[in-house]
Structure 1
Amino acid sequence: MHEYSASHIQVLEGREAIRRRPDMYIGSTGERGLHQMVYEVVSYAIDEYLAGHADTVGVTITAGGGIRVADNGRGLPVEVEEATGKSAVECALTELSFGPKPRTGYWMSGGINGLGLCVVNALSSRLAVEVHRDGHRWTQEYERGAPITPLTRNEKTSEHGTTIVFSPDPDIFETTCHSFATLSQRLQELAFLNGGLAVSLTDERR
């Protein structure tokens, strides 16, 4: 009988687990999973709307085939999270176990129980986040889920909100070509279900 012990158990954490088993998080690596990536980022924006802090979300298919999602909510928190020593922005985008505390962030959360941003980051070849919050514009960039720049405080601004631009990783997905019709139908449904939220979709590939 072959030996079977704890040494034979493989433990995967964070982005490694997501990249190894993407189907567990977004359902597939085909077109359905590709579009689920968009819905996960949009879900964060809708959470801001449901919490009473946003009324606009814009989705853009960029000329290069990536996705940009922008909202006018509060903006992802930028302060350092005590337990990890990382900014809350980086935690939200890299920590699989990170999410809003009960009764403090959102009274409800869509997407993958609030973990969608981390999953999208891990399954993207590149991701850039821009946050308008606390009187400044903040930026950070990632590659396949890992930060390649620090969270940087830029010029002062009175605006507020979060913009996330990502390119699904072709090493993960069977296709990285988004369907305008598929996204349009889903975003229309979300707009209908969330009266008062302005949702737009733009295709820059044309």
Structure 2
Amino acid sequence: NGRGIPVGIVPSEGKPAVEVVLTVLHAGGKFGGGGYAVSGGLHGVGVSVVNALSTRVAVEVKTDGHRWTQDYKLGVPTAPLQKHEATEETGTSVTFWADGDIFETTDYSFETLSRRFQEMAFLNKGLRINLTDERESAKATAGADEAGEDEKHEVKSVSYHYEGGIVDFVKYLNSR
């Protein structure tokens, strides 16, 4: 995992940075002098667009020695950022429910997402990306053509982490 989206107050907005990132287009990680040294390359619109196009978003951030959470409904925070137990872990988890009134389909390809997240993990040395498909349809088929009775509660899940980054990507390509 990365260091986690910052949770400190953005002076110009009067809100926690994580809330600004999730609700303001082009906010990205550029807050004054610091922000992020590395970004995902979506010009600051990535997660704010996901939030705007979802019926619900749940964000969990582990940073500054604590776990923090905030939920959103139709792009709007449902409550202030909540500070929870102390932790030494860092990172960010965003869970979203795409709005079926906006999208023709909300059925995502696990394989397509998995490939994209693997590419992102290769490009961001040391980053860990976990993808879990918790849809009922995934639980029913969990890697099999037909699910047996004992397979119905499993979920598809992958984790990508490459300490070597691009070097690991080259090794991966050469192994194929």
Give the TM-score normalised by structure 2.
Answer: 0.67
1:49-89 C-alpha deviation (Å, 9 max, x unpaired): xxxxxxxxxxxxxxxxxxxxxxx211111111111111111
Secondary structure of 1:77's counterpart equals: coil
* Counterpart for residue 13 of structure 2: 84
Partner Cα distance (2:115, 2:49) in 1: 23
Misfit runs of 4+, over 6 Å? none
Letter aligned with residue 20 of structure 2? C
Listed as ranges, the gaps of 5+ residues in structure 2 are 140-176
- CA change 1:171–1:157 in 2 (3 A) is same
1:169-204 C-alpha deviation (Å, 9 max, x unpaired): 111110011112222333343344456555444333
Partner Cα distance (1:198, 1:185) in 2: 14
Report the identity percentage.
57
Which one scores higher on RCO, CA 8 angstroms, separation ≥ 6? 1
Secondary structure of 1:98's counterpart equals: coil
* Counterpart for residue 72 of structure 2: 142
Give the TM-score normalised by structure 1.
Answer: 0.58
1:15-49 C-alpha deviation (Å, 9 max, x unpaired): xxxxxxxxxxxxxxxxxxxxxxxxxxxxxxxxxxx
* Counterpart for residue 161 of structure 1: 91
C-alpha contact 2:26 2:44 (8 A) present in aligned 1: no
Partner Cα distance (2:14, 2:99) in 1: 28
Give 1:172's match in structure 2, choosing from 86, 102, 122.
102
* Counterpart for residue 124 of structure 1: 54
C-alpha contact 2:25 2:44 (8 A) present in aligned 1: no
Partner Cα distance (1:201, 1:91) in 2: 25
| Alignment of structure 1 residues 1-206 onto 2, 5 Å | 72-101=1-30, 104-194=34-124, 197-204=127-134, 205-206=138-139
Measured after TM superposition, the shift of residue 137 of structure 1 is 1.0
Letter aligned with residue 185 of structure 1? R
Secondary structure of 1:171's counterpart equals: coil
Partner Cα distance (2:123, 2:2) in 1: 18
Q: How many residues align?
A: 135
Measured after TM superposition, the shift of residue 144 of structure 1 is 1.1
- CA change 1:147–1:177 in 2 (3 A) is same
Aligned-residue CA RMSD (Å): 2.2
Partner Cα distance (2:121, 2:54) in 1: 26
